[in-house]
Amino acid sequence: MLAGLGEFELRRGDVYDPTADRSTKFPGVYNRIGNDVEQIVFFGAANDRMAKALAPLLKSDDPETRRLALLAGQMLRDAAFGEVSKISGPPNGARDPILQAVKAAQPAPPPRTAGGGRARAGTARPDDDYFRGYVEPVLTTRGKDGQACVHCHATHTLFNATLGTAKNVINLEDPESSLLLVKPTSSAEAEGVVNASKTAHGGGVRFEKGAPEYNTILNWIRGTKP
């Protein structure tokens, strides 16, 4: 049960193939982070009950139980679902010690870019004020389909269109390879296709490479200041 809380679920690898024979076996694949992950989130009193259940497991004599309990503890967090929170009510603080334990057990990793490499010393850092003044409007402006980046990404794990998570999807060594630029300039054609050679974006093309939106985000990654 603990593993199920903290790990992404498996599903059929041909789930997006409309011609697939569902009666046959097919290797499972992990869900990608994004629209297709039904992430577990606890609200209100359920947050508190789960926190109380996890608390003794964090002190278990079994290392694997402690590890899984820490992973499950990450599900106890604030979630921006206003109407659901109204119904469930606010948590009473029972989860706070769990969150502190989770944080204490997670050593800060060395800074890495979206491409996996460490940022070079002396590389210009993206400016927070520039993001708020110029990049944020790009992410909150509705496109022709009536949706904005922030709408679809609001509950995503890796990138939810906020300043903090935008830094998860940029590459300081090679700015134009940043997922923050590659994804919105990609189509949904290869979405869910196993071993696809093309980058896919479930929301489709939001703007073209070289468009004002593209250049705004690129300038931010390169360290432009307002």
Residues 185-211: tens digit of each pLDDT: 988 775 555 555 577 787 888 999 888
With a cut of 80, say whether residue 53 has pLDDT above it: yes
Residue 126, helix vs strand vs coil? coil
**What is the predicted pLDDT for the residue at 93?**
64
Question: Residue 29 — φ and ψ, nearest 5°?
Answer: -135, 155
**What is the predicted pLDDT for the residue at 219?**
92
**What is the predicted pLDDT for the residue at 115?**
39
Q: Please give the residue that has the higher pLDDT: either 223 or 81.
A: 223
With a cut of 50, say whether residue 27 has pLDDT above it: yes
**What is the predicted pLDDT for the residue at 29?**
57
With a cut of 70, say whether residue 148 has pLDDT above it: yes
How far apart are alpha carbons 28 and 178 in whole angstroms? 28
Report, as an integer, the average pLDDT of 139-144: 86
Q: Please give the residue that has the higher pLDDT: either 190 or 159.
A: 159
**138: enclosing H helix or E strand:** helix 136-140
DSSP, residue by residue, 51-106? HHHHGGGGG-S-HHHHHHHHHHHTT-S----HHHHHHH----STTHHHHHHHHHTS
With a cut of 90, say whether residue 18 has pLDDT above it: no
Report, as an integer, the average pLDDT of 95-100: 67
With a cut of 50, say whether residue 213 has pLDDT above it: yes
Residue 124 banded pLDDT, cuts 50, 70, 90: confident
Contacts of range 144-147, beta carbons closer than 8 Å, 24 or more positions apart: 145/204, 147/203
Residue 119 banded pLDDT, cuts 50, 70, 90: very low
**What is the predicted pLDDT for the residue at 126?**
92
Token code pair at residue 133: 């003044």
Return the DSSP state at 46: H
How far apart are alpha carbons 62 and 184 in whole angstroms? 44
Residue 111 banded pLDDT, cuts 50, 70, 90: very low
**What is the predicted pLDDT for the residue at 73?**
77
